[in-house]
Amino acid sequence: MSFLSSLMNALPGAAAQGLAWGIMAIGVYITFRILDVADLTVDGSLATGGAVCVMLIRGGVNPWLALLCAMLAGMLAGLVTGLFHTRCGIPAILAGILTQLALYSINLRIMDSKANQALSVDKYPLLLSQRYVRELSLNNPLPLLLIFTAAVIAALYWFFGTEKGSSLRATGANPNMARAQGINTNSNIVLGLMLSNGLVALSGALLAQYQGSSDINMGRGAIVIGLAAVIIGEVIFGKVFANFGLKLFAVSIGAIIYYIVLQVVLQLGLNTNDLKLITALIVAVFLAIPYWKSKMFRHTAQAKKGGSKNA
214-233: contacts with another protein (CB under 8 A): 215-218, 220-221
Of 231-260, binders to another protein (CB under 8 A) are 235-236, 239, 259
For residue 130, the minimal CB distance to another protein (Å) is: 5
Given a contact cutoff of 8 angstroms between Cβ atoms, the answer to whether 44 and 220 are in contact is no
Asked whether position 281 contacts another protein by CB under 8 A, the answer is yes
| Torsion on CA atoms 257, 261, 266, 271, rounded to nearest 10 | -130
Contact region with another protein (CB under 8 A), list: 60-68, 171-179, 182-190, 209-217: 209-217
Q: What are phi and psi of 137, to 5 degrees?
A: -150, 175
Site for another protein in 119-178 (CB under 8 A): 119-123, 129-131, 133-134
Mark residues 35-74: x for contact with another protein by CB under 8 A, - for none.
-----------------------x----------------
Contact call for residue 24 and another protein (CB under 8 A):
no
85 in contact with another protein (CB under 8 A):
no
Give Cα 47 distance to the centre of its chain. 13
Contact (CB, 8 A) for 214 and 51: yes
Cβ neighbours for 222, distance < 8 A, ≥ 6 positions apart: 24, 42, 43, 46, 200
Which of 122/163 has CB closer to another protein?
Answer: 122
Shortest gap between Cβ of 188 and another protein (angstroms)? 32
Q: Are 192 and 172 in contact (CB under 8 A)?
A: yes
Does residue 289 belong to the site contacting another protein (CB under 8 A)? yes
287 scored as a contact of another protein (CB under 8 A): no
